[in-house]
Structure 1
Amino acid sequence: MSSTFAFTVHPRARLGEDLARVWSPLGRVPDPVYDAALRRLPLRPVSMAGIHIGGERVGHVVLVPYGARHLLTSPGEGRARVHRAVDKARALGCDVVGLGALTATVTAGGVSLRGRTDIGVTNGNAFTAAIVDDQARRLLRDAVDHASDPHVAVVGATGSVGAAVTRLLARDRAAARLTLVARGTGRLDALAADVGRQVPTTTATSMDAVADADLVILLTASADALLGPQHLAPGAVVLDATQPRNTSPSLVDERPDVLVVDGGVVDIPSLRLTGGNIGLPDGRSYACFAETALLALSGHRGHFSIGVPTLELVDTTRRMAADLAHLGFRAADPTSFGRPVFLRRAVTRTSPSLAVAS
C-alpha cells in the first residue's frame, strides 16, 4: 500500500529567486532584506507545493525558511528549523520525509532525526548515488576521450553520496584510476585504502588535484569549494550533483571545451507540482526527491537512508525503481544548466564533447 511523503527544501544562493517559486511577488524583495529576515525571524516551515505522480496527489514540498549560507554558517539553528519542518510534514499526514539539499547536511544525513518513530526519514542519498553512478557511466561511455582508461575524480568523496559513488565506481571498476578529494584526511585515507584494493586511487585536499581528470564528479556540500576553469584539463567532463551548485554558467563560457552536466536529475514523466516548484520542469526531480517518492509509492515504513548509505541500500533503490519503471524513475537525459545536451564521443582531447540546444 502506498503512503504520502514530504520533501524538505530551502532557498539556495539567490534568495529572492528561490522564494519567488513559492509566490512570484516575493521575487521583488532584495536579497539583503531576505538575508536579515531569514536569519533573525522565527519563521515557520510552510507547505509550498503539492506533489502529484500518476495523476494522484502523493505528498507535499515543505519549505525550510533558512538560506543555504544560513544553514552552513549556523548549523545548530538550521538543524532546529529542519526538525520543525519534519513536524510540519507529520502534521500534514505524511508517512515519510526526504531531506533535500542542505537540510540533509545539517542533520548529519538525518542522524539527528533517527529517534523519530512517528515518521520515516531518508536523506535520499542512496538513490542519488545510484543515479550519479548511472550518469557517470553514460558520460564515460559517450563523452570521455579516454573511455578505455578513464581517470575519474570525486570531489566530496567522504560525504554521504560521495563515499557511496566512490564505492560503486570501484566495485565495478568503472574507472581505471580514481582521485578522491575531501577536506579532512582521516576518512579520506580510510576510503582510499578500501577502494584502492580494486582501483588505483590517490587522495588530495585541494581542488587542484582534478587537473588531469577525464571526468570530475562534484558531490561536496561546501559553498566555498567552487570548481573554476583553471582546475580542469582540456576537454574535461564535469558531473555537478551539488545543490547549491559548485559550478556556474561562466565556467563553460570561459572553457567551451568543457562539458558540465547537471547531476542527480531523474525522469518521472507524470510528476507535477502545484502551488510552487523546485527549479526543475514538470516530469523531472532531484534523485533525493525521487528516493522519497519511491519509498512512499512502495509502501515503505520507517527510516531508510540515514548517514552514509550502504551499497545494499543503493541496490534496494534500484530494485524499487525497476518495480516502478512504468512511472519513470531513471536518470534523465543529460542537461547542462537546464539546457539539453547531445552527447557524442570526443574526437580529440581538445575538442568539445557536446552540442547544447539553444
Structure 2
Amino acid sequence: MSTFRIANLAFGKSTLDSAYEFDYGGHHFEVQRYGTHFSIPYLKDLMRSLRTTVDAIALSDLPPPMHLGKKSYIHRQVLDVMATPLSIPLCDGYQIREIATVDSIARYIADGTLDPEDGIFFPIGLLNLEIIVYLREKYGESIRLGDAFSVLGIPKLLTPSDDLVLPAQALMNLVNLRDIEKQTPMASSGWKRMVRERMAGSLSGIKSVVSDVGVLALFGKDVSFIRGKDVYLTSSNPAMEKFLNQHEPSTIRNLFPENFRLSPFINYSVLDAALRLAHGKTAALSIEEWQEMLATEPMEKDNRRRYVVLSSPSLQTRLQNGAHQVLRRTRAKATPDFAFVVHPLSREDIFRVPGLRGLRNLPENYGKPIEKLISKAPGFVYGHIRQIVSEKNNREVNGIIYSLPSTPRLMKEEDPDVTYRKVERLCHLAAESGAKIIGLGAYTKVVGDSGETINRNSPIPVTTGNSLSASATLWAVHDAVQKMGILKMDQATGLVDGTAMVIGATGSIGKVSAKLLSLAFKKVILVAPRLNRLEELARDVRATSPGCEVLVTTDANELAGHADVLVTATSAFDQKIVDVMRLKPGCVVCDCSRPLDFTEEDARKRPDVLIIESGEVVLPGPVKLSCDLGLPDNSVYACLGETAILAMEGLYEPFTIGRDIDWLKVKKIYRLATEHGVKLATIRGHAGFVSEKEISIVRALALKGLSLPR
C-alpha cells in the first residue's frame, strides 16, 4: 500500500490544527493541517517550504469563486496563491464542494429531513451561492441571508431576490480592493460585533441554518443564533462541532458526501487531493469528471450546469470590451466556435505581424529595445481559421486566433501575473466574440501553473492542448522510426528492441511521453534536473510497464549515446540540454520544445541523426488560415488542433490543464482526432519537410556509423 502525504493549509486559526490518517483506494493518506492566521504571505511561505516534502497541498478556508448573475468573481489574492509555482497538485476542493453540497441538500429535502419552507438562514450567503441558487427558484421567500449583519454590520436580513445581484457585484469589486485578512469577522469593529449579537432575535421564525464550520468559528460567542435550530454544516470538524453543541442546536447534520467521509476531520480540499492522487489524476479535473467520480445523479448534473458552468465576464470586463463588440458586429464576421492564443517564439516571429514586417532588418542595437517595447502591448486579434469540417459529423467550426506580442524569454523574465492578466483579457474577449473554448499555445501554457489559474478565471473553458501535442509527438516518432527502418521488434516481448530517452521527463508532455514510450520500448531513460521527481516518475513508469527497464539521470550526456529515440520537452531557451555529438548514429530526435532545443547547426553537425520537430497536424476540410503561424501549407500546431477537435466534438471543457497530462486523455484525443479526420502533417526538420530521399541518406550514414567501432 503506497502512502501519500497531504498538507492542508487553512486560511483560518491554528487552534483547529490536527494530524490524521485514512485509507482510500488501496492507498494510505497522512494529513497535517496548518492554520495560517489569515496571513496570505505566511500561507505562501508554507507552500514553498512544504512543496518538496508532501505529495499535494490542499487549501481551505479561502474565499471561493463567486458566481453572480452568471458572472465570476475571484479575489485577486486567491489568484495569486493559486499561481504559486509548484510541481505537485494544488487543490482547493471548490468544484467538489459545489457538487456535493447541492446533492446533499437535495437528498435531505427528498427524504423529508429538511423542509425549506420552514425557513433557512445562511450567515454568509455569498459563501454558499451554489445552494442558494439551487433553492431560490422554489423556496426563495423562505431563505434569509445574514451578509448585511455579518460583513457590513447592517441590522437587516436579506432575501435572494434578483435585485440584489447588482449590489452584490459592486460589493465583490470593492472586496477585491482590500486584502482578505482585513475582511474576516476577526477584523470586525465593535459596532459590527454589537449588530451581530442582535442576529438571534431576527431568526425566531427560522428552523435551519446552513454554514461552513470555518464561518461559524469566526463568530465565536455570537454563534448563539443556532440555539434550537437544525444546523447543516458544509464541512466538519469534531472540535468545532463540540463547541457548537454548547449553544444547544436542535441537530447538527453534515452536507459532506457520506461515502467520502474518510475521516472526521476531512474537508473538500483534502478530498480533492486524495481523489486526484488515488486515481492518478494529478492534473485539474473538469466539472464533468468530478461528477462522474462522485457518482452524481443526472438530475443534479443538470442543476449544476445552470449556475456553475455558465459563468461569463463581469460588468467591468463587458464595458472594457464594448468597442471590440461593435467592431466585430460591423465586420459581420462568422461567430467563432473556439479561440487560440499564440505568441512569437523569437524576435524574427514578431515581425511576421503585418505592419511590423518593415522592422525586421533593423540593426541589433535597435531590435532588442523594440522587441521589449512591443511586448508591453496587450494581446490582439491576429487572424482567423475557418472552414474546418469534421469527417465524423460534418460539423463546420471556425476559430479566432489571438497573439501576445512577447517572446518566451521576455515572458519568463516578467512576473507571471503580467501574462495571466493579458491572457485572461483574451479569454473574456473570446467569450464576447462567441467562442466556447480557448486554447493556449507555446509558452502561455507553461507560465505559472500551466493554465489552471487562467482556466479558473476564464468565462469559457481553457485547454493547453498538451494531450494532442504529446500524442502527435509519439505519432511523429512512430512514423520516423518506421521510415528509418533500423530498429527491430522483439517477437518474444512485442517491444521495440531499443532504447528511448526523454529529456524534460517530469514536465507535462515529458511524463506522458515516458509512459507511452515504455509500452513500446524495452528500455527508457528519463532525464530531468530533480532526481527525487525522476525517481517518483520512474516508479510510475515501472508500474505501468513492468517489462520495460527504466533508468534515470540528471545529465543527458551521460547516457545519450544509448538512445535510439530521443524526445525533448523542455523550456531551456539557450541552454544546451545535450551534446548532439554524443548521440547514437541513427537516433531519431523529436524536438517538442518551443523554442527548439536543437538548432539547424546541430542538424548539420550530425547528418546521421534524424532531427524532427514535434508533430504538427492537418485539420480536415477546405481550411482557410488568415495569419502566418510560421508553418507550411495548412499545418497547425497540435495544441491548436486539440482546441479545434474539442469544438468539432462539442466537448467544451478544460480538457488538458495543469502540469500533468492524463495519459488516458492522450489516448482519447488521438481517437477523436482520427474520427474527425485530423492527420499528422508531413515530418518536418529545421530545413522544412523531410523527404523520403533525405531519410534514406540519414539511414545510410547511420548504418555506416553503427558498423564502426564506437
TM-score, L = length of structure 2:
0.46
Q: Which amino acid aligns with 2:503?
A: V
Question: How many angstroms apart in 1 are the aligned matches of 2:345 and 2:464?
Answer: 18
Which of 488, 502, 510 is the aligned partner of 1:147? 488
Match of 2:338 in 1: 5
Superposition pairs of residues 25-44 of structure 1, within 5 angstroms = 25-30=358-363, 33=366, 35-39=368-372, 42-44=376-378
On the 8 A contact 2:440/2:464 being kept in 1, the answer is: yes
Three-state SS of the structure 1 residue aligned to 2:691 is strand
Gaps of 5+ in 1: 354-358
1:66–1:236 CA distance, 2 compared to 1 (3 A): same
Q: How many residues align?
A: 345
Superposition pairs of residues 1-358 of structure 1, within 5 angstroms = 4-13=337-346, 15-23=347-355, 24-30=357-363, 33=366, 35-39=368-372, 42-54=376-388, 58-76=398-416, 77-116=418-457, 118-143=459-484, 145-148=486-489, 149-170=497-518, 173-197=519-543, 198=545, 199-208=548-557, 209-226=559-576, 227-268=578-619, 270-274=622-626, 276-307=627-658, 308-325=660-677, 329-337=678-686, 338-342=688-692, 343=695, 346=699, 349-351=702-704
Deviations 1:181-229 (A, max 9, x none): 1122232211111112421111112231322211111111221443442
Question: How many angstroms apart in 1 are the aligned matches of 2:387 and 2:580?
Answer: 39
1:36–1:319 CA distance, 2 compared to 1 (3 A): same
Deviations 1:148-168 (A, max 9, x none): 311111111111111111111
Question: How many angstroms apart in 2 are the aligned matches of 1:143 and 1:8?
Answer: 35
On the 8 A contact 2:502/2:527 being kept in 1, the answer is: yes
Question: How many angstroms apart in 2 are the aligned matches of 1:33 and 1:93?
Answer: 40
On the 8 A contact 2:682/2:689 being kept in 1, the answer is: no
On the 8 A contact 1:64/1:85 being kept in 2, the answer is: no
On the 8 A contact 2:336/2:397 being kept in 1, the answer is: no
Structure 1 residue 133 displacement after superposition? 1.7
Three-state SS of the structure 2 residue aligned to 1:12 is coil
Question: How many angstroms apart in 1 are the aligned matches of 2:365 and 2:426?
Answer: 24
On the 8 A contact 2:501/2:525 being kept in 1, the answer is: yes
Question: How many angstroms apart in 2 are the aligned matches of 1:348 and 1:12?
Answer: 32
Structure 1 residue 294 displacement after superposition? 0.5
On the 8 A contact 1:16/1:30 being kept in 2, the answer is: no
Question: How many angstroms apart in 2 are the aligned matches of 1:137 and 1:35?
Answer: 40
Structure 1 residue 22 displacement after superposition? 4.1
Q: Which amino acid aligns with 2:344?
A: P
Structure 1 residue 113 displacement after superposition? 1.7
Structure 1 residue 66 displacement after superposition? 1.5
1:90–1:186 CA distance, 2 compared to 1 (3 A): farther
Match of 1:356 in 2: none
Structure 1 residue 265 displacement after superposition? 0.9
On the 8 A contact 2:625/2:634 being kept in 1, the answer is: no
1:27–1:217 CA distance, 2 compared to 1 (3 A): same
On the 8 A contact 1:16/1:29 being kept in 2, the answer is: no
Q: Which amino acid aligns with 2:501?
A: A
Q: Which amino acid aligns with 2:342?
A: V
1:29–1:17 CA distance, 2 compared to 1 (3 A): farther
Question: How many angstroms apart in 2 are the aligned matches of 1:94 and 1:81?
Answer: 17
Of 21-30 and 57-66, deviating more is: 21-30
1:35–1:22 CA distance, 2 compared to 1 (3 A): same
TM-score, L = length of structure 1:
0.87
Deviations 1:275-327 (A, max 9, x none): x21111232111111001111122122311111221221122123213211xx
1:251–1:316 CA distance, 2 compared to 1 (3 A): same
Match of 2:57 in 1: none
On the 8 A contact 2:342/2:401 being kept in 1, the answer is: yes
Of 254-263 and 21-30, deviating more is: 21-30
1:114–1:322 CA distance, 2 compared to 1 (3 A): same
1:347–1:340 CA distance, 2 compared to 1 (3 A): closer
On the 8 A contact 2:475/2:615 being kept in 1, the answer is: no
Gaps of 5+ in 2: 1-334, 390-395, 490-496
Structure 1 residue 16 displacement after superposition? 3.5
Question: Which structure carries more helix by proportion?
Answer: 2
Structure 1 residue 64 displacement after superposition? 0.9
Match of 2:179 in 1: none
On the 8 A contact 2:466/2:509 being kept in 1, the answer is: yes
Larger radius of gyration: 2
Question: How many angstroms apart in 1 are the aligned matches of 2:604 and 2:542?
Answer: 36
On the 8 A contact 2:501/2:527 being kept in 1, the answer is: yes
Question: How many angstroms apart in 1 are the aligned matches of 2:352 and 2:364?
Answer: 12
Structure 1 residue 267 displacement after superposition? 1.9
| Root-mean-square deviation over aligned CA pairs | 2.5
Q: Quick one: higher RCO (CA 8 Å, sep 6+), 1 or 2?
A: 1
Structure 1 residue 117 displacement after superposition? 5.3
Question: How many angstroms apart in 2 are the aligned matches of 1:231 and 1:18?
Answer: 34
Question: How many angstroms apart in 2 are the aligned matches of 1:314 and 1:153?
Answer: 19
Match of 2:172 in 1: none
Structure 1 residue 47 displacement after superposition? 0.7
Three-state SS of the structure 2 residue aligned to 1:317 is helix
1:81–1:27 CA distance, 2 compared to 1 (3 A): same
On the 8 A contact 1:110/1:123 being kept in 2, the answer is: yes
Question: How many angstroms apart in 1 are the aligned matches of 2:354 and 2:637?
Answer: 18
1:52–1:107 CA distance, 2 compared to 1 (3 A): farther
Three-state SS of the structure 2 residue aligned to 1:177 is strand
Question: How many angstroms apart in 1 are the aligned matches of 2:426 and 2:532?
Answer: 33
Of 17-26 and 247-256, deviating more is: 17-26
Three-state SS of the structure 2 residue aligned to 1:279 is coil
Deviations 1:69-95 (A, max 9, x none): 012222523333333332333333321
1:202–1:224 CA distance, 2 compared to 1 (3 A): farther
Deviations 1:224-280 (A, max 9, x none): 443442231222221112221111111121111111112121122533311x21111
Q: Which amino acid aligns with 2:540?
A: D
Question: How many angstroms apart in 1 are the aligned matches of 2:472 and 2:350?
Answer: 25
